[in-house]
């Protein structure tokens, strides 16, 4: 297994200081799975190439004291000695540890200097092929040369193997290049020689800082990196989602600025909404309830006051909101019999979460409009298919009503003053959304269309209820849907 890193930075040979490896010497390091050699095929002021050659012991990884457990590795004849895999990541961390962490005693100024770098991986196994390679590296700014290898040169019709020679070029810091290789090589290979636990998740978040959260393939990268640990992957993704969505963090300021509240203050819509949601949950007969996107815990507090609800879960993607909720609910001071009824969970509604399965009811209050429209399909499956509570009470703003909020509409006059109080879904004025973090707001017709499609797809029925003072033409400020799961023969729902 060979990795080379080349540069034409002037003087190129200085890369030796960054790698902490003297270009004049060949060095060998003992690792748990074999040996790593570092040497420089060329080292001049114009061009410098450092090579990391891994000598993986194929018998040792099957029989040795550290016995790497994947089934594939139970064979003495395996591809590990020849391909870039998680062994390479370990070698990068151990042999180029200082460079990976961005430390250089002799050339500290070079650490943060972008250098013209080319990394060449002699053989990279890639599940997902060249297309996946490009989807991962190109958004990070790399120019790629990818050469596929045939499965067997003598039998051309067998097609290509999953192995590629890959060359990556980018002007960047050595630290960044090594970090990307460290995280991504095992992602392509999709086999890991070590146990994946909490520490690996933290490692991924640390190494992924600054690039993973906004990467379009972050889900594939995270699930593959945390192989065999989908619940860890979901936790990591929830954390990444928070990093990538400043608007979620900005929500934390809502309480202090009261922006969303003030726009709706005149009728204390918030309270009315809580009351209506609570009534619907009570009426469903639910005892075990979820508050999904619970924010700072307004609904949770009301649920706690009612003995009907004996198990309450509040879930949110924002850790900060959960902390505020825990504080406001005085979680640490509750008597044990109260505390046992409640759990606040960190998680994202974008990913299937087994902790949410088997509940009687779920409230999703003013959350859906915070989700990206292209990701609604994922949310629908997570809620209606996987968590599948018996009752779902979901609220969202009615966009038509926005013209009546003077402080939102600005110059836009309510339609009635123009004598155009026409059918609700033909409102012509298009006032701004109610809150800067809303990705969309639906008219009543749009909400109905969405809700009815969902009921058909997932086997629910739905009824709609207004929340707040209803305008005869524009409807209520908040719209609410109550979904009820249809009992299907034999499925026990
Ligand atoms: N339901 C609460 C909060 C509404 S604000 C109330 O009525 O007071 C929207 C909430 O949805 C925020 O707390 C936000 O952090 C949360 N949220 C946004 N995207 C989410 C996601 N993907 N998964 C879980 N919660 C999310």
Given a contact cutoff of 8 angstroms between Cβ atoms, the answer to whether 439 and 448 are in contact is no
According to DSSP, the residues that pair with 365 across neighbouring strands are 395
Residue 20: closest CA among 120, 103, 114, 87: 103
Supply the pLDDT for residue 152: 84
| Residue 404, phi then psi, degrees to nearest 5 | -85, -10
Separation of CA 282 and ligand 1 centre (Å): 22
CB contact set of 270 (below 8 Å; sequence gap of 6+): 261, 264, 298
Atom of ligand 1 nearest to the CA of 321: 13
Given a contact cutoff of 8 angstroms between Cβ atoms, the answer to whether 269 and 277 are in contact is no
Residue 76 pLDDT level (bands cut at 50, 70, 90)? low
Residue 422 scores a pLDDT above 70: no
Among 281, 295, 362, 376, which is best to mutate for testing ligand 1, by the most ligand atoms less than 8 A from CB?
295
Q: How far apart are CA 398 and CA 395, in angstroms?
A: 9
The count of C-alpha atoms lying within 13 angstroms of the C-alpha of 348, restricted to the half-sphere facing its C-beta, is 25
- Kindly provide the residue ranges of all beta strands, DSSP E only, lying in 151-241, ordered along the sequence: 160-172
Residue 77: closest CA among 64, 62, 55: 62
| Residue 460, phi then psi, degrees to nearest 5 | -130, 165
75-112 as b/e: b if 16+ CB within 10 A: eeebbbbbbbbbbbbbbbeebbebbbebebeeeeebbe
Supply the pLDDT for residue 250: 35
Between 161-175, 404-418, 463-477, the lowest mean confidence (pLDDT) is in 404-418
Ramachandran assignment for 492, one of left (phi > 0), alpha (psi -120 to 50 degrees), beta (any other): left
Q: How far apart are CA 481 and CA 384, in angstroms?
A: 13
Separation of CA 318 and ligand 1 centre (Å): 8
Sign of CA dihedral 473, 476, 479, 482: negative
Residue 454 scores a pLDDT above 80: yes
Which residue ranges have their beta carbon within 6 Å of ligand 1?
Answer: 248, 251, 293-295, 298, 316-318, 321, 348-350, 365-367, 370-371
Q: How far apart are CA 22 and CA 13, in angstroms?
A: 9
Strand 288-292 versus strand 311-316 pairing type: parallel
Residue 285 scores a pLDDT above 70: yes
Residue 133 scores a pLDDT above 90: yes
Separation of CA 369 and ligand 1 centre (Å): 9
Q: Give me the mean pLDDT over the 423-431 stretch.
A: 44
SS3 of the chain: helix, strand, coil, percent, to 5: 45, 20, 35
Enter the DSSP assignment of 389: -
Separation of CA 362 and ligand 1 centre (Å): 13
Judge if pTM exceeds 0.75: no
Q: Give me the mean pLDDT over the 466-487 stretch.
A: 92
Residue ID of nearest Cα to ligand 1 atom 15: 318
Residue ID of nearest Cα to ligand 1 atom 3: 295
Among 260, 269, 271, 367, which is best to mutate for testing ligand 1, by the most ligand atoms less than 8 A from CB?
367
Residue 443 scores a pLDDT above 90: yes
Residue 406 scores a pLDDT above 80: no
pLDDT tens digits for range 156-208: 888 888 899 999 999 999 999 999 999 999 898 867 666 677 888 888 999 99
Residue 410 scores a pLDDT above 70: no
Residue 247 pLDDT level (bands cut at 50, 70, 90)? very low
Residue ID of nearest Cα to ligand 1 atom 20: 317
Between 65-69, 215-219, 294-298, 423-427, the lowest mean confidence (pLDDT) is in 423-427
Supply the pLDDT for residue 153: 85
Output the six-digit token pair for 27. Answer: 């060095």
Q: How far apart are CA 481 and CA 88, in angstroms?
A: 52
Residue 112 scores a pLDDT above 70: yes
Quickly list DSSP for 276-338: HHHHHHHHTT-SEEEEET-TTSHHHHHHHH-TT--EEEEEES-HHHHHHHHHHTTGGGS-HHH
323-332 as b/e: b if 16+ CB within 10 A: ebbbeebebe
Residue ID of nearest Cα to ligand 1 atom 4: 366
Place of tokens 């520490």: 199
Among 317, 348, 375, 392, which is best to mutate for testing ligand 1, by the most ligand atoms less than 8 A from CB?
317
433-472 as b/e: b if 16+ CB within 10 A: bbbebbebbbbbebbbebbeebbeebbbebeebbbbeebe
Place of tokens 């959960």: 322
Residue ID of nearest Cα to ligand 1 atom 10: 293
Question: 83 or 252: whose pLDDT is higher?
Answer: 83
CA distances (Å), 174 to each of 17, 25, 156, 206, 464, in order?
11, 20, 39, 17, 57
Separation of CA 283 and ligand 1 centre (Å): 24
Q: How far apart are CA 493 and CA 358, in angstroms?
A: 9
Domains of the chain, each with CATH number or no CATH: 2-194 (3.30.1610.20), 248-485 (3.40.50.150)
- Displacement of CA 10 from its chain's centroid (Å): 39
The pLDDT mean for the chain works out to: 84
Q: Give me the mean pLDDT over the 355-370 stretch.
A: 96
Residues listed for the chain: 493
Separation of CA 261 and ligand 1 centre (Å): 15
Residue 45 pLDDT level (bands cut at 50, 70, 90)? very high
Atom of ligand 1 nearest to the CA of 248: 15
Output the six-digit token pair for 48. Answer: 């410098």
Residue 130 pLDDT level (bands cut at 50, 70, 90)? very high
Residue 27 scores a pLDDT above 70: yes
Q: How far apart are CA 345 and CA 322, in angstroms?
A: 8
Supply the pLDDT for residue 61: 63
| Residue 373, phi then psi, degrees to nearest 5 | -50, -40
Q: How far apart are CA 245 and CA 255, in angstroms?
A: 18
């Amino acid at each position: 297994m060979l990795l080379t890193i080349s540069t034409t930075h002037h003087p190129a040979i200085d890369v030796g200081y960054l790698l902490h490896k003297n270009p004049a010497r060949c060095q060998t390091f003992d690792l748990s799975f074999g040996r790593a050699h570092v040497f420089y095929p060329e080292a001049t002021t114009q061009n410098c190439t450092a090579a990391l050659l891994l000598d993986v012991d194929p018998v040792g990884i099957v029989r040795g004291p550290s016995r790497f457990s994947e089934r594939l590795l139970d064979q003495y004849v395996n591809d590990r000695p020849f391909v870039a895999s998680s062994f390479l990541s370990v070698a990068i961390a151990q042999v180029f540890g200082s460079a990976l962490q961005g430390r250089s005693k002799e050339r500290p100024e070079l650490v943060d200097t972008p250098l013209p770098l080319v990394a060449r991986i002699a053989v990279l196994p890639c599940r997902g092929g060249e297309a996946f390679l490009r989807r991962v590296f190109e958004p990070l700014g790399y120019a790629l040369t990818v050469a596929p290898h045939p499965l067997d040169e003598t039998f051309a019709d067998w097609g290509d193997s999953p192995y590629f020679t890959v060359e990556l070029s980018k002007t960047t810091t050595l630290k960044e290049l090594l970090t990307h290789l460290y995280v991504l090589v095992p992602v392509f290979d999709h086999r890991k020689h070590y146990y994946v636990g909490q520490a690996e998740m933290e490692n991924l978040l640390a190494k992924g800082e600054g690039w993973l959260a906004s990467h379009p393939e972050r889900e594939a990268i995270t699930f593959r990196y945390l192989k065999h640990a989908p619940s860890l992957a979901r936790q990591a993704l929830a954390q990444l989602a928070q990093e990538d969505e400043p608007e979620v963090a900005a929500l934390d300021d809502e309480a202090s600025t009261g922006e969303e509240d003030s726009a709706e203050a005149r009728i204390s819509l918030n309270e009315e909404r809580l009351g209506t949601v609570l009534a619907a949950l009570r009426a469903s007969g639910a005892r075990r309830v979820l508050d999904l996107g619970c924010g700072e815990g307004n609904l949770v507090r009301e649920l706690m006051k009612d003995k009907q609800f004996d198990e309450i879960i509040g879930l949110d993607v924002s850790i900060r909101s959960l902390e505020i909720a825990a504080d406001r609910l005085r979680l640490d001071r509750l008597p044990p019999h109260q505390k046992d009824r409640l759990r606040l969970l960190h998680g994202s509604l974008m990913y299937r979460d087994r902790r949410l399965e088997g509940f009687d009811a779920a409230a999703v209050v003013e959350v859906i409009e915070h989700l990206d429209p292209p990701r609604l399909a994922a949310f629908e499956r997570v809620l209606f298919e996987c968590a599948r509570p018996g009752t779902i009470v979901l609220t969202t703003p009615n966009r038509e009503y926005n013209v009546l909020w003077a402080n939102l509409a600005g110059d836009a006059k309510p339609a009635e003053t123009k004598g155009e109080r026409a059918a609700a879904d033909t409102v012509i004025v298009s006032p701004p959304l109610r809150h800067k973090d809303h990705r969309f707001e639906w008219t009543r017709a749009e909400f109905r269309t969405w809700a009815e499609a969902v009921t058909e797809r997932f086997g629910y029925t739905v009824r709609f209820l207004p929340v707040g003072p209803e305008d005869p033409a524009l409807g209520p400020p908040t719209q609410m849907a109550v979904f009820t799961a249809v009992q299907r023969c034999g499925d026990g729902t």
